[in-house]
Chain A
Amino acid sequence: MRGDQSKPSAAKRGIFPEFLGGLILALFGSLVILESRKLALGDLRAPGPAFFPFLLGCLLTIVSLILLVGLSLGKVESKCGQWKGVHWQKVILSFASLLVYSLTLESIGYILGTFLLSGFLFFLMEKRGILLLFGVSVLVSLGFYVLFKQILFIQLPQGIIPF
């Protein structure tokens, strides 16, 4: 299966996640329709806040249904991403670390947060000497801080370190 490019099996394997994608979009479209019903729709003379989202919800739902029908009839090319032989775990880890970083940035401050994030990311990318990783992370976080905050005067979150 690794790096499998042979045509028929790729198509079969691809259908399910593709289908799921189309389904999610169709559901999202219906959700938009439902949610926009809570707002005033207005009429053509004075369209209300829900007018445009409602139309878009309909468009989303209809087009994703077309996609689903096309997929199940085998008339739309399905393109499944490859999951075997790639480091998707690393992607999840870097996504999670970035998310944690962005949620805690205001409380722990730019320098410390960035130091931890860059250290983790460097470590994730390639296992090198711990000293080197430490040094590069300190350098990067302080370098960015000095460059952007002190030289370019961009506001950065302060957090627990008072600078």
Chain B
Amino acid sequence: MKRGQRNKAGTGTLIIMLALGLFLFVPLCQAAESVYPNRPIEIVVPSEPGAFGDLGPRILGQKVSEILGVPLVISNRPTASGAAGVEAVTRAKPDGYTILAAANAPVILVPLVNPQVSYTFRKLLPIAVFAYSSNVLVVRSDSPHKTMNDLVAFAKKNPGKLTYGSTGAAHISRISMELLKEAAGVDIVHVPYQGGGSLRAAILGGHVDLAPISIAPVLSLVKAGNLRVLVSFSENRLDELPDVPTAKEVGYPNSVLPTWLGYMAPLGTPRPIIDKWNQAIQKALSDPGVKSELEKVALTIDYKTPEVMTQVMEREERILSEWVKKGGLTRK
């Protein structure tokens, strides 16, 4: 016991010394300069790790981080379909050290369908759009519906017979499908699934007839002959599937809604910081390595200036809010 007592004093001193050492060490890690950026930047990603909205910023972020010369720390905040992440950025200090990896679902769609969300895209400053990915409508390859016209004709004769699966109630691909249904005047029953994986299992297993889904994860199934693409919800035909018509070509232009990815900053962020980011993004996009890596996850480079980005968001907000007002999500 006695020996223990004496030792304790010694241990105490040692611990305090160590603690003081750490106290001195930590601030040294972030010795400050006054030029932006001089410390790690937090990138808030409003989706789960591994999703599109996450992979894009992760790939591009590596190069942007090299150009800016500081680490970009990704924090995934997928809560409430990403609303939590977007909201956190609207409230963050506008000092350029919190940047949102934006996408149209959390920034535009979610505030329209969720009455609890109070922001709109006007609460954020656009930096740039850097890529988009396309959604397509697939059927199993043994399905009797060969073209979009076949499908619409069948659905008109058999209202409520067909089912389509979606990756979730408030997802862009599902909205495209609903807009298409509305334009074609058909009744196809909606069955939501949790994410792309279970939706792919459901369409392959024959549990649903149709699936609007992002192209990347189904491309290999299409090439292997398990699935067939009826139509793509994109502006132009896809490079990977040049024979597939776009929704515009078959007469449903409103349902063309690509999923885009970009960056946004809190309102009040100084213009020079926005410009610095914008230039870094442009420079990173010109790197051939970044281009090929983005293409591997079926993201197409599509740079848009802050001004064009605002126009895109305004168009989408208009289309989606009209649809939501008409009953949209809750309508059967």
Contacts and interface: CB of A to CB of B under 8 A. Distances in A.
Q: What are the nearest 5 A-B pairs in CB distance?
A: A138-B19, A135-B15, A135-B16, A142-B22, A132-B12
Contacts of B42: 155
Interface string A30-70: 00000000000000001000000000000000000000000
Contacts of A153: 73
B75 interface: yes
A120 interface: no
Nearest to A133: B12
Indicate the size class of the contact surface on chain B: 10 to 19
Interface stretch (A8-16, A19-27, A82-90, A143-151): A143-151
A118 to B, nearest CB: 12
B90 to A, nearest CB: 16
Interface of A: 46, 129, 131-132, 134-136, 138-139, 142-143, 145-146, 150, 153, 155, 163
B35 interface: no
Given A132-B11, A138-B19, 17 more contacts: A132-B8, A132-B12, A135-B16, A136-B15, A138-B20, A138-B22, A139-B15, A139-B19, A139-B22, A142-B22, A145-B26, A146-B22, A146-B26, A155-B42, A163-B26, A163-B29, A163-B30
Contacts of B8: 129, 132
A134 B20 CA distance: 11
Residue from B8, B15, B30 with most neighbouring chain A CB atoms (10 Å): B15
B1 interface: no
B27 interface: yes
B18 A139 contact: yes
A143 B22 contact: yes
7 contacts: A46-B332, A129-B8, A132-B8, A135-B15, A139-B19, A142-B26, A163-B29
Interface in B1-54: 8, 11-12, 15-16, 18-20, 22-23, 25-27, 29-30, 42
Nearest to A42: B332
A60 to B, nearest CB: 25
| Chain A interface main SS type | helix
A156 to B, nearest CB: 11
Nearest to A111: B26
A142 B73 contact: no
Contacts of B75: 155
Contact of B27 (A131, A136, A163): A163
B29 to A, nearest CB: 6
Contacts of A145: 26
A142 B18 CA distance: 10
Contact of A155 (B15, B18, B23, B73): B73
Contacts of A155: 42, 73, 75
A47 to B, nearest CB: 12
Nearest to A139: B19
Contact of B29 (A46, A139, A150): A150
Nearest to A134: B16
